[in-house]
């Protein structure tokens, strides 16, 4: 402040953002670095600069097409979903059939994320395939290697992605994610799960536990027993 800088942290964050944005042309060459860790980091970095999409989006797609490291490919695919539009859906669709599960997850995530953009809609059958893939992956263990999105919380990222869907998050995918989510810092995820799985208005009289759908019973049991680590931490933090 004595040097004339703003006390608002957002001011310094924006200056840092603009400084990196100015250096992006120099950083693009790292997309072809021999080290897959460098390629992963540059793909992740470029995902947060939609201003550069005209340049970086073709790079994401080209990198994925020739990439042999699944983490690099998955990071680039999710990045394409973050900065792209529905016009890229046809380019992403083939990766729903990839041999590598992490790449299939990334393609499905990217297609679902494209629905955040209002310019065009992803073709419904393709979006259904993406949702089905996310539901399958949600009910599977965490892959050996994951991307850095959502701080590496793989199932937490799956839980967040479908909320942009016009029909709402599919309950089967949401319920499958709950046992495997690693953290819930402020209880937001717990509240979201309750709102999604117990949509209002609730019936009157309330149904018996035994007559509830499996995903509602699963969440109620988890809350009652604090079975999932993220629920236990949330309960401990709020009591």
At what angle are helices 70-83 and 36-46 packed, to 10 degrees?
A: 10
How many H helices and E strands in the chain?
12, 0
Alpha-carbon distance of 10 to 197, in angstroms, equals 36
Contact predicate 166/115, CB 8 Å: yes
Q: What residue ranges define each of the domains in the chain, with the CATH number in brackets?
A: 20-172 (1.25.10.10), 183-239 (no CATH)
Give 197-229 pLDDT, tens digit per residue: 777 787 788 888 888 887 778 777 766 765 555
Supply the DSSP symbol for 139. T
SS3 call for 170: coil
| 7-29 pLDDT per residue, tens | 777 878 888 899 999 999 999 99
The whole-angstrom separation of Cα 182 and Cα 151 is: 10
63-102 pLDDT, tens digit per residue, is 999 999 999 999 999 999 999 988 899 999 999 999 999 9
């Amino acid at each position: 402040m004595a040097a004339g800088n703003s006390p608002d942290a957002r001011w310094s964050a924006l200056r840092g953002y603009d400084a990196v944005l100015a250096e992006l042309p120099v950083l693009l060459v790292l997309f072809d670095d021999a080290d897959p860790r460098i390629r992963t980091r540059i793909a992740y970095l470029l995902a947060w600069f939609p201003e550069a999409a005209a340049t970086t989006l073709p790079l994401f797609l080209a990198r994925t097409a020739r990439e042999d490291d699944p983490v690099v490919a998955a990071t680039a695919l999710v990045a394409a979903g973050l900065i792209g539009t529905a016009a890229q859906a046809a380019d992403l669709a083939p990766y729903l059939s990839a041999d590598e599960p992490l790449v299939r997850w990334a393609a499905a995530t990217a297609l679902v994320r494209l629905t955040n953009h209002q310019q065009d809609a992803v073709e419904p059958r393709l979006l259904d395939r993406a949702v089905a893939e996310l539901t399958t992956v949600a009910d599977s263990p965490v892959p050996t290697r994951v991307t850095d999105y959502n701080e590496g919380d793989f199932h937490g990222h799956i839980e967040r992605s479908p909320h942009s869907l016009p029909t709402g998050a599919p309950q089967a995918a949401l319920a499958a994610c709950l046992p495997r989510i690693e953290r819930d810092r402020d209880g937001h995820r717990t509240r979201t799960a309750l709102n999604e799985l117990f949509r209002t208005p609730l019936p009157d009289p309330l149904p018996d536990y035994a007559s509830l759908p499996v995903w509602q019973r699963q969440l109620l049991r988890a809350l009652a027993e604090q079975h999932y680590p993220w629920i236990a931490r949330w309960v401990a933090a709020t009591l």
